[in-house]
Amino acid sequence: MKVIMLGAPGAGKGTQAKKIAAKYQIPHISTGDIFRANIKNGTELGKKAKTYMDQGLLVPDELVVDLVVDRLNQEDCKNGCVLDGFPRTIPQAEALDKALKSLGQKVDYAVNVEVPDENIVTRMGGRRACVGCGATYHLVYAPTKEEGICDTCGGGLILRDDDKPETVTKRLNVYHEQTQPLIDYYAQAGILKEVDGTKDIEDVFREITGILGE
């Protein structure tokens, strides 16, 4: 079972991807992890990716797809995987489909974790990070025992630039531009499933397992 997770930054798709991976005992794969592993291991694909990343350039779609397909061919993916953060664009989705088809495989589900933008801005605006150890909290969902003080190391907490409303709004605009066509692409392919990401984490997960099967 190959599952693609879609959802805006802060929608909670990463959390759900980890839960899916644990329940169905399939790997949770993000392109960031793939890049890091290949670069660390000094693979040919890793070296190619590094030349782009060192120059601050985006890794070309063709190379990203090669890296992903190489990862999908590893033994631990024989029963499937959860792809998180890939594909991001139509050309990537088309290239992935083509590569999988040549291996006699396909994407089974594209799960879109749907959360309105205003909820995401509020949700991410409540995040706080410790300046000392990097632990993360949330003013509403995961508060510290003592306000403004890290439970782990006693350091002070800050609102990261990434989580400021103006930054989040910008990231959401980019996401919608890039990803709305993807949602349409998978809807046309008949494999798009939408879940309500505003619910409690466990309720969202129940909705997803209802789609994927127990």
Task: Specify the pLDDT at position 188.
Answer: 97
Residue tagged active-site, from 48, 171, 193, 199:
171
Angstrom distance (rounded) from CA 41 to CA 170: 35
Catalytic residue, candidates 2, 19, 123, 127: 127
| Three-class SS state of 90 | helix
**Residue 97: which residues within 8 A CB-CB, separation 6 or more?**
106, 107
What is the pLDDT at residue 35? 87
Known catalytic membership, residue 127: yes
Tell me what pLDDT residue 32 has: 81
Does the annotation mark 171 as catalytic?
Answer: yes
Q: Which of 48, 50, 88, 193 is catalytic?
A: 88
> What is the per-residue pLDDT for 162?
85
For β-strands 2-7 and 109-114, DSSP reports them as parallel
CA-to-CA distance for 54 and 93, rounded, in angstroms? 25
* 8 A C-beta contact, residue 135 and residue 115: no
* Chunked mean pLDDT (size 10), the chain, 214 residues: 92 92 94 88 92 85 90 92 91 92 93 95 92 92 94 95 90 86 95 95 96 89
Q: Which residue has the tokens 């003592």?
A: 146
Alpha-helical (H) ranges within the chain are 13-24, 31-40, 44-54, 61-72, 90-102, 117-125, 165-188, 201-212
pTM over 0.95: no
Burial class (CB in 10 A: 0-12, 13-18, 19+), 194: middle
Exposure of 95 in the CB half-sphere (CA atoms within 13 A): 17
Domains of the chain: 2-116+167-212 (3.40.50.300)
In the residue annotation, 160 being an active-site residue is answered as yes
Packing angle of the helix pair 61-72, 31-40 (nearest 10 deg): 80
The pLDDT value recorded for residue 54 is 86
